[in-house]
């Protein structure tokens, strides 16, 4: 696999995304979740990101670089769900479910969210 995901001129395969997300053998898999509500439309987005740690880093210099976004999935909820209208809390709960279905079993996950659902 190529050294840099930005050099690849095609969509990454699922196994390549997982390799990049765990290339430093850290016991974490980071998923960010954010929901929004505009009018009556609730949406949610999840992002799988990898820390940008380089071989030549000293101490904690990697913390000054933005993480690499490897995967983004968004979903717009229907206006009504069951017997009620959708809300931001439903959207963010769906984000957790999407995250669980996206990540393989037995892989440690850290969810980053500003949700009250957390």
Q: What is the pLDDT of residues 61-118, one digit of tens each?
A: 888 888 888 888 899 999 988 888 888 888 888 988 888 888 888 877 888 887 776 5
The pLDDT of residue 1: 41
For the chain, the domain total comes to 1
Task: Count Cα atoms within 13 angstroms, Cβ side, for 98.
Answer: 24
For β-strands 80-81 and 68-76, DSSP reports them as unpaired
Q: Is residue 97 part of a domain?
A: yes
- Predicted local confidence at residue 6, as pLDDT: 56
Q: How far apart are CA 13 and CA 80, in angstroms?
A: 34
Task: Please provide residue 49's backbone torsions phi and psi, each rounded to the nearest 5 degrees.
Answer: -125, 155
Q: What is the mean pLDDT of residues 19-37?
A: 74
Domain that holds residue 24: 5-55+63-108
115 part of a folded domain:
no
What pLDDT, in 10s, does the model give residues 43-67? 999 888 878 888 888 888 888 888 8
Q: For the chain, what is the radius of gyration of the CA atoms?
A: 16
For residue 26, being part of any structural domain is answered with: yes
Give the CB-side neighbour count of residue 82, counting CA atoms within 13 A.
Answer: 4
């Amino acid at each position: 696999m190529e050294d840099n995901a930005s050099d690849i001129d095609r969509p990454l395969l699922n196994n390549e995304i997982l390799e990049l997300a765990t290339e430093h053998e850290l016991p974490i898999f980071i998923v960010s979740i954010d929901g929004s509500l505009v009018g009556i439309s609730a949406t949610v987005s999840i992002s799988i990101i990898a820390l940008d740690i380089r071989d030549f880093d000293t101490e904690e210099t990697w913390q000054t670089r933005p993480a690499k976004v490897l995967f983004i999935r968004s979903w717009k909820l229907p206006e009504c769900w069951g017997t009620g209208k959708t809300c931001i809390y439903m959207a963010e709960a769906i984000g957790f479910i999407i995250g669980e279905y996206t990540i393989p079993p037995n892989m440690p996950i850290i969810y980053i969210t500003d949700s009250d659902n957390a």
